[in-house]
Amino acid sequence: MAAKTERTFIAIKPDGVQRGLMGEIVKRFEQKGFRLVAMKFLQASEDLLKQHYIDLKDRPFYPGLVKYMSSGPVLAMVWEGLNVVKTGRVMLGETNPADSKPGTIRGDLCIEVGRNIIHGSDSVDSANKEISLWFKPEELVSFKSCAHEWIYE
């Protein structure tokens, strides 16, 4: 299992923080069996957010996205586990909550795409880039959970 373990970057956006959904979202990832290896609660700077969303810089909504994401605190996290990037994206639901299935975070907890409460890396490569942007290597904790044998074969 260790060879297939990967990490993903998950961030609860200002709307999720303001609505008090941090605990619910963390709970879902923990209950799934993923391991939290880093977490920080911060007011993200515009510079950090411009780097984070650099691939969207030519889109018309980019300035508003950066402004919105810097408007309040964000909970940045790194989760680890087998296929955590793909599974995490499934757990989040579609970018547009209206297209998200019940049982997903966005399907259950939000309505509009501009207030979709959470970000999740879309590939292992983007996860690695996002993790290194938001966290220093020494901020990532490596440990084996006592529940590991009850989650993985």
Is residue 147 included in any domain, yes or no? no
Q: What is the CATH classification number for the domain harbouring 133?
A: 3.30.70.141
The structural domain count of the chain equals: 1
User: Would 38 be classed as within a structural domain?
Assistant: yes
Residues 109, 31: Cα–Cα separation, whole Å: 17
Is pLDDT of 1 > 50? no
Query: What's the pLDDT score for residue 2?
Result: 52
Q: What is the mean pLDDT of residues 115-135?
A: 97
Q: What pLDDT does 144 receive?
A: 86
Tell me, yes or no, whether 151 lies in a domain. Answer: no
User: Has residue 148 been placed in a domain?
Assistant: no
pLDDT in tens, 69-119: 999 999 999 999 999 999 999 999 999 999 999 999 999 999 999 999 999
Inside any domain, residue 2: no
What is the C-alpha separation between 1 and 131, in angstroms, rounded?
Answer: 22
Domain of 79 in residue numbering reads as 7-140
pLDDT at 116: 96
Nearest to 71 by CA among 25, 112, 20, 17: 17
Q: Is 32 annotated as a binding residue?
A: no
Q: What is the pLDDT of residue 122?
A: 96
Q: Which residues are catalytic?
A: 119
89 is in an annotated binding site: yes
d(CA 148, CA 130): 26
Residue 135 lies in a domain: yes
Domain presence at residue 63: yes
